[in-house]
Chains A and B, each alone.
Chain A
Amino acid sequence: MSLAARVTTLIVAVLAVVGGVIFVVAHYLLGGPPTVDFAAATSGQVNVTMQTDASSDPATVPDHPTWVSYFIKSPASGSWVHTTLFQVPAHTRVNVTILGYDGSTPVRNQVWGQVSGTTGGVADYGGKPVKTVNGWNGPYLIQHTFAIPSLNLSVPVEAGPATCTTGPCTNNQHSTTTFSFMTPAQPGAYRWQCFVPCGLSYLDGNGGPMQTFGYMTGNMQVVS
């Protein structure tokens, strides 16, 4: 092989490896859903609004439109963002509203039918306080849970009156679950997840959306 050919081969090989590394690092850093920022607290409180949907509009969620999913409402633009990552200030009261646009899937472990870690130990279903919900039988039916295990926060989310399959949805056929909790003083990422095995068709209902950021699990980033 001529010297020129060997040098060219070497340069191409080096560029390929460097390009591959840059691609992987950039994918890791830039990939994944965006973070909705609630860091600007007014009088020590922030209001976080989310919704759950049975499936999504493929134009909004091209990756897995058929999966169950959470959406978070951006406080800046008021639009729904397909993500499960949000940022809140430390030591702040977070008032959460979850609009339920999904039908009922019972919990596997009824222990998650109990509300824990919220202000007052309750969640409100359409304004009515509930402490323990039978996640199997009713009278309230539940669809997903919102839980931050390290804060011992666990809230069953009431099932909606109808199933909306084109998330994010804006009609009024939804349930409304509200609760408040205090963010910890320690900044950092606090994982949250749903404890209903709602990843239907995956092993024990726990794969797919249950293990993917942007759908049924994410991080609450606490900043000081």
Chain B
Amino acid sequence: MPAADGTVADGAGRPEPNHGLRIFLLWLPVALVADLLIWFVWGPHLPPGAMSTSAATQQSAIKIMSVMAAPVMALVLVYGAYALVVWRHREGDDEDGPPIHGNTRVSVTWIGVTSVIVLSLAVFGTVELAGPAGAGAGEGNTPIWRPSGGTPLQVQVIGQQWRWTYRYPQFGGFETTSLMLPVGENVQFNITSLDVIHSFWAYQLGVKADANPDINNVAYTKPEHTGQVQVRCAELCGLWHADMTTVGQVVSLSAFNAWTATARTQLAALTKELPPYTLTYDPNAVAQLGKVFQKAGLSGAGGGFYGSQYPVQP
């Protein structure tokens, strides 16, 4: 409590130590060690790895944000521990703490430091999105961040309950359940759905983008290493949502070219029967399917086909 002459002393009359300095000295090594561990030990293992340009920037962004967050968390923990130990209740001391109103230095430091951190992260995040052409996120029908140089390889990703299919419009428009990509080439995913909302999540590529019916959602990436890509659906889409997976492959350009040549020939009969390549496929636009729904007295796929005991979903 403040004494009459203005110096700060504890209950026993001893002068108050410089708590700020003590907390700072305790905090500094903790923050330093945490940051070094995050950057050098944990960092290379942070998700989603570095298989593609988008994955690598996501990993470095997570590293940088962790390195900025760790000292803040360390300060909270060190301060908490310090307060618990130094300012704990002592036997026989029932006195209230001093009524403090405001501390300009603390307020200015606090607001200043947090503002700088938050605003710089906002700028950093935006730049990170722009850098590797949208960072693997869906950019909608008219992407503003595109990869530079040449026409990218286009792969249409079609979600349906409950499987992904992939269409290669630059190779005759064949459609397959396999996802094959060449290493070192820019890839443009055109993601859409034939029924409900799905989400195309190619984990190792750092690509995750919604698959919506009637919408062409564009996402870019550039695989930097060969290997397996685990594709999952990241939007709860019904009974077999969890089983809606593909094991994709990133292979050399020559292996990719050999694969497309073979697939094109093997799937030629099927490709002839497919509708022409378009960026979206209206779920109810298959004329024959429409006729069946009509015959059943349904408009589109709604209506009381099975009787009033089954409410139309939804």
- Taking a contact as CB atoms closer than 8 A, the residue among B194, B273, B274, B314 that contacts A108 in the complex is B194
> Does B151 touch A at the CB level, under 8 Å?
no
> Does B283 touch A at the CB level, under 8 Å?
yes
Question: Contact mask A172-192 → B, CB, 8 Å, 1/0?
Answer: 000000000000000000010
Question: Contact mask B26-44 → A, CB, 8 Å, 1/0?
Answer: 0000000000000000000
Tell me the nearest residue of chain B to A117, going by C-beta: B177
Given contacts A111-B175, A201-B304, A208-B313, contact A136 B288 (CB under 8 A): yes
Residue contact A197 to B175, C-beta cutoff 8 Å = no
Given contacts A109-B165, A131-B269, A206-B195, contact A201 B306 (CB under 8 A): yes
Segment among B56-64, B77-85, B134-142, B291-299 that sits at the interface with chain A: B291-299
> Does B24 touch A at the CB level, under 8 Å?
no
Given contacts A203-B301, A210-B161, contact A105 B195 (CB under 8 A): no
For chain B, residues 297 to 314, give those with C-beta under 8 angstroms from any C-beta of chain A: 298, 301-307, 310, 312-314
> Does A167 touch B at the CB level, under 8 Å?
no
Q: What interface size band does chain B fall in?
A: 35 or more
Residue contact A105 to B310, C-beta cutoff 8 Å = no
- Please give the residue numbers on chain B whose beta carbons come within 8 Å of chain A beta carbons, in ascending order: 158, 160-163, 165, 175-177, 194-196, 213, 238-240, 243, 267, 269-270, 273-275, 281, 283, 286-289, 292-293, 296, 298, 301-307, 310, 312-314
Chain A residues lying within 8 Å of B289, measured Cβ to Cβ, are 105-108, 136, 197, 205
> Does A134 touch B at the CB level, under 8 Å?
yes
Min Cβ gap A78→B in Å is 31
Given contacts A134-B273, A203-B314, contact A152 B307 (CB under 8 A): no
Residue contact A108 to B306, C-beta cutoff 8 Å = no
In the bound complex, CA of A177 to CA of B161 (Å): 24
Chain B residues lying within 8 Å of A207, measured Cβ to Cβ, are 238, 313
- Taking a contact as CB atoms closer than 8 A, the residue among A64, A132, A210, A211 that contacts B273 in the complex is A132
Query: Can you list 7 A-B contacts with CB-CB less than 8 angstroms, sorted by A residue number?
Result: A107-B289, A149-B177, A197-B289, A201-B298, A203-B301, A207-B313, A211-B239
In the bound complex, CA of A191 to CA of B241 (Å): 12
Chain B residues lying within 8 Å of A204, measured Cβ to Cβ, are 161, 194-196, 213, 283, 301
Question: Contact mask A69-87 → B, CB, 8 Å, 1/0?
Answer: 0000000000000000000
Min Cβ gap A51→B in Å is 20
Residue contact A110 to B274, C-beta cutoff 8 Å = yes
In the bound complex, CA of A111 to CA of B274 (Å): 7
In the bound complex, CA of A191 to CA of B301 (Å): 25
Question: Contact mask A47-82 → B, CB, 8 Å, 1/0?
Answer: 000000000000000001011000000000000000
